[in-house]
Structure 1
Amino acid sequence: DVYKRQGYGVRYDLALEDEEYLEELCAHHISGQLRIAPEHFSGRVTDAMSKPGKEVYEKFADRFNAFNKKCGKEQYIVNYLMSGHPGCTLKDMIEMAEYVRDHGGYTEQVQDFTPTPMTVSTCMYYTGLDPFTGKKMYVARDKKEKAMQRALMHYRNPANYELVYEALEKAGRLDLVGNAHKCLIRRKERQRK
Structure 2
Amino acid sequence: MEKILIVGATGSTGIRIIEILNNSQSFEPVAMIRKEEQKAMFDDMEVKWVLADLEQEDFSAALKGIKKVIFAAGSGGDTGPEKTTEVDEKGAIKIIDAAKKAKVKKFIMLSSMGADEPSKNPDLEHYLKAKAEADKHLRESGLNYTILRPGRLSDDMGTGKVELAPKLGKMGEIPRDDVAFLLIMSLADPLVQNMTFEAIEGEEPIKSAMIELSKS
- TM normalised by structure 2 equals 0.33
Higher helix share: 1
Higher strand share: 2
If you compute each CA radius of gyration, which structure gives the higher value, 1 or 2?
Answer: 1
